[in-house]
Amino acid sequence: MKYVDLTRTFTDTMPIYFGDPPSTLKQVATIEKNGYTDHQLTTVMHVGTHMDAPLHMIEGGAYMSDFPPEQFAGPGIFIDVRGKTVIDADVLPASMPVGAVVLLYTGMDKKYGTQEYAMEYPTITESFAKAVVAAGVKLIGFDILNPDKSEEYPIHKIFLAKPVLIIENLTNLEALVGVKKFEVFAFPMKLHAEAAPVRVVARIS
């Protein structure tokens, strides 16, 4: 077995979503002074590699803490969409197992933290989102900031109404190019909130 970490390291200088307050991760105790080390994290949920639950966009939707552990693991489907400006349903395989985890590799992660990453990511169509839902996918992840270009957030709403939980800001997906079979484990913090930081790992058999 080989394990591939697809998660961004959380630091004190993490890029934030437009209008969100900045995140901080600072050391508040040291071994020298206090006899132990301690850090304090202050953050909104939509920073770095994180997972969206229905409550993020669906009125009365489920919290992250409402989901059982089995929601967060499944057979992986890797889709290489590098070079595409529009991602439509035709990129999906003809069949996918129910409960799959779909990972879209755009290559945008190399531009993380730049204006281009924030503004020039590919467009994901409603037909793609509806096809993913129809296939019984449980999680979908991308190496981009946001699956939506519209402030009406139609793609978020299609996924989260099912729900297909959304993972944003993945990295290191290039490690899965050419891999035929893998599983994905994406366990978020168990927060009573609309989203949570998540550690995403692919296990290649």
Output the six-digit token pair for 162: 């099912």
Output the six-digit token pair for 68: 């059982």
Res 118: pLDDT: 93
The total domain count for the chain is 1
The CATH number assigned to the domain holding 95 equals: 3.50.30.50
Q: Is residue 18 domain-resident? A: no
| In contact, 126 and 59? CB cutoff 8 Å | no
Q: Is residue 28 domain-resident? A: no
Res 19: pLDDT: 86
Residues 6+ away with beta carbon under 8 Å from 37: 27, 29, 30, 31
Give pLDDT tens digits along the chain (205 positions): 999 999 999 999 899 888 899 999 999 999 999 999 999 999 999 999 999 999 999 999 999 999 999 999 999 999 999 999 999 999 999 999 999 999 999 999 999 999 999 999 999 999 999 999 999 999 999 999 999 999 999 999 999 999 999 999 999 999 999 999 999 999 999 999 999 999 999 999 8
| In contact, 155 and 127? CB cutoff 8 Å | no
Q: Is residue 166 domain-resident? A: yes
Q: Is residue 34 domain-resident? A: no
Res 160: pLDDT: 98
| In contact, 196 and 50? CB cutoff 8 Å | yes
Res 18: pLDDT: 84
Give the type of residue at 50.
H
Res 49: pLDDT: 98
Coil/strand/helix, residue 116: helix
* Closest residue by Cα to residue 175 from 48, 5, 50: 5
Q: Is residue 21 domain-resident? A: no
Please give the residue range of the domain that contains residue 190: 2-6+46-204
Q: Is residue 41 domain-resident? A: no
Strands 101-105 and 139-142: parallel
| In contact, 178 and 69? CB cutoff 8 Å | no
Q: Is residue 19 domain-resident? A: no
